[in-house]
Amino acid sequence: MEVKKYFGTDGIRGAVGDAPITPDFMLKLGWAAGRVFANKGLDRSKILIGKDTRISGYMFEAALEAGIAAAGVDINLLGPMPTPAVSYLTRTLRAQAGIVISASHNSYRDNGIKFFSGDGSKLADEVEQAIEEQLALDVTTVKPEHIGKASRINDAAGRYIEFCKSTVGSSLKLHDLKIVVDCAHGSTYHIAPNVFAELGAKVIQMGTAPDGLNINEGHGSTSPKALSERVVKEEADLGVAFDGDGDRLVLVDHRGCVVDGDEIIYLIACDRRREQIDFGGVVGTAMSNLGLQQALSKLDIPFFRSPVGDRNVMKELLKRGWKLGGEASGHLLCLDVANTGDGIISALQALSAINKSGKPLADLRGEIIKFPQSMVNIRVNSDVDVSNSDSVKSAVADVEAALGDCGRVLLRASGTEPVLRVMVEGENADDVANYAQTLGEVVSAAAIG
């Protein structure tokens, strides 16, 4: 298959105003996608468009709408909506595709496009390739009587709220919980607080006043410090934080300690095991903490590491027929209740597990002992395969021998910049930091040649 020019590991993303994140490209992208999906509908095709709260979303929404209409495909506008909500609504509204205008956890200066197929899953490589082939053509417009029509789905938020609640059933009641909910001024701002409140929790809101420029700024899953402080101040039972488009989650216990994706997936897996629910095993990534692997091993729960990226986790889960997976960043997959990463649904699964255990989150998170990790980034020439250097191999072997079974070394090329990430994990934080620094120096010397 040809190398894709625009689509990366998670759609198309970049700085607003820099190609391809421009209005003229978005118009053509909408037209190209319309052309591809117009051929898949038995009758008139339909594409959904949702977005997060960044200011450029309005501009790109209009451009995509124009392009899709010119291709003869109808449009349903969802307004600000979490990425997983667009996945769900694409499937339930029987659309041919869904589009999300979002740059996830990035600042308002960036934006991007994610696509979902008609079944709510991410696009296959061959479909992305087909869209890129259309992008190479000149835009044309169908006959006036065939131009696509746009309409707004006014009850989209309500539909999604009910779906989220349905994933835990009527047995979950949160009346005894005070929860601080941080929506990162992003697309969950009008949904997540309502989900938890309707289940009975006393909800204290944070990051629910988007102005187009403050998405992810000092709030949300990538900046949980403010949430930690608020949980302690309010004497809340726990805190919940999402990123700008609602597909990532971190928790905070009543002491203000952050609970990351590794700990949350362990919490959910333990609950599934107690309830005798067959989920196969857990898929993590190369970056998943060794503590997660060891804790799951003690419960005889299979664990497998995929390459970094939720797309890779999903691929491995489907291959193995397993149901649980995710990344320390909080992008979690619970495929027995949802077919894509969903922060709100993951939070509900975690809350259900906490509720059934009868223990506070602080006690449950203590069941997994995380290992210290240290990472250094070394700039390298993309033409040089530093990891195959004899000096690097020797240095890695020395560190691995010193760590034994209680640590590991990972060299990983960045997917977005000419950087090799050197990660060392082990029992002692000082040793880990020193090993990472030493390896970094060897890699840097090898990169210079």
In this prediction, residue 415 carries a pLDDT of 65
Same domain, 143 and 171: no
Confidence band of 171 (pLDDT split at 50, 70, 90)? confident
pLDDT tens sequence across 324-362: 999 999 999 999 999 999 999 999 999 999 999 999 999
In this prediction, residue 169 carries a pLDDT of 84
Tally of residues, the chain = 449
Average pLDDT over residues 221-243: 97
In this prediction, residue 266 carries a pLDDT of 97
In this prediction, residue 430 carries a pLDDT of 96
Q: Answer yes or no: is 141 within a domain.
A: yes
* Residue 288, token pair as written in the block: 């998943």
Residue of 365 and 42 predicted with greater confidence: 365
* Residue 186, token pair as written in the block: 């992003």
Q: Residue 41: helix, strand or coil by DSSP?
A: coil
Confidence band of 268 (pLDDT split at 50, 70, 90)? very high
In this prediction, residue 291 carries a pLDDT of 95
pLDDT tens sequence across 362-389: 999 988 999 999 999 998 876 667 878 8
Q: Answer yes or no: is 3 within a domain.
A: no
Same domain, 137 and 88: yes
CATH of the domain at 417: 3.30.310.50
Catalytic residue numbers read 104
Domain extent at residue 403 = 373-448
Provide the whole-model pTM: 0.93
Same domain, 197 and 64: no
Q: Answer yes or no: is 4 within a domain.
A: no
Same domain, 190 and 260: yes
Same domain, 181 and 324: yes
Same domain, 80 and 139: yes
In this prediction, residue 10 carries a pLDDT of 81
CA 82 and chain centroid, separation: 11
Same domain, 240 and 121: no
Mean pLDDT of all residues belonging to the chain: 94
Q: Parallel, antiparallel, or unpaired for β 258-259 and 249-253?
A: antiparallel
Q: Answer yes or no: is 6 within a domain.
A: no
pLDDT tens sequence across 391-415: 999 999 999 999 998 999 999 887 6
Contact (CB, 8 A) for 110 and 16: yes
Same domain, 242 and 295: yes
Q: Answer yes or no: is 2 within a domain.
A: no
Sequence letter at residue 425: E
Q: Which of 131, 154, 177 is the last residue of a domain?
A: 154
Q: Answer yes or no: is 5 within a domain.
A: no
DSSP state of 149: -
Same domain, 341 and 225: yes
Average pLDDT over residues 171-187: 95
Q: Which of 104, 139, 154 is the last residue of a domain?
A: 154
Confidence band of 44 (pLDDT split at 50, 70, 90)? confident
Q: What are the start-end ranges of the H helices in 275-389?
A: 290-298, 310-320, 343-357, 361-365
Q: Residue 241: helix, strand or coil by DSSP?
A: strand
Q: Of 50, 100, 97, which is closest to residue 78 (Cα–Cα)?
A: 50
pLDDT tens sequence across 104-153: 999 999 999 999 999 999 999 999 999 999 999 999 999 999 999 999 99
Q: Which of 365, 389, 418 is the last residue of a domain?
A: 365
Q: By CB neighbour count within 10 A (0-12 exposed, 13-18 middle, 19+ buried), where does 152 fall?
A: exposed
In this prediction, residue 98 carries a pLDDT of 98
pLDDT over 80 (residue 42): no
Same domain, 287 and 144: no
* Residue 272, token pair as written in the block: 């599934």
pLDDT tens sequence across 68-104: 999 999 999 999 999 999 999 999 999 999 999 999 9
In this prediction, residue 414 carries a pLDDT of 75
CATH of the domain at 49: 3.40.120.10
Q: What is the largest CA-CA distance in the chain?
A: 72
pLDDT over 60 (residue 1): no
* Residue 355, token pair as written in the block: 């509720």
The percent of residues above 90 in pLDDT, for the chain, comes to: 87
In this prediction, residue 43 carries a pLDDT of 72
Q: Residue 27: helix, strand or coil by DSSP?
A: helix
Residue of 176 and 302 predicted with greater confidence: 302
Residue of 322 and 4 predicted with greater confidence: 322
Domain count, the chain: 3
Q: Answer yes or no: is 243 within a domain.
A: yes
Confidence band of 447 (pLDDT split at 50, 70, 90)? confident
Same domain, 164 and 286: yes
Q: Answer yes or no: is 63 within a domain.
A: yes
pLDDT over 70 (residue 298): yes
Same domain, 342 and 392: no
pLDDT over 90 (residue 209): yes
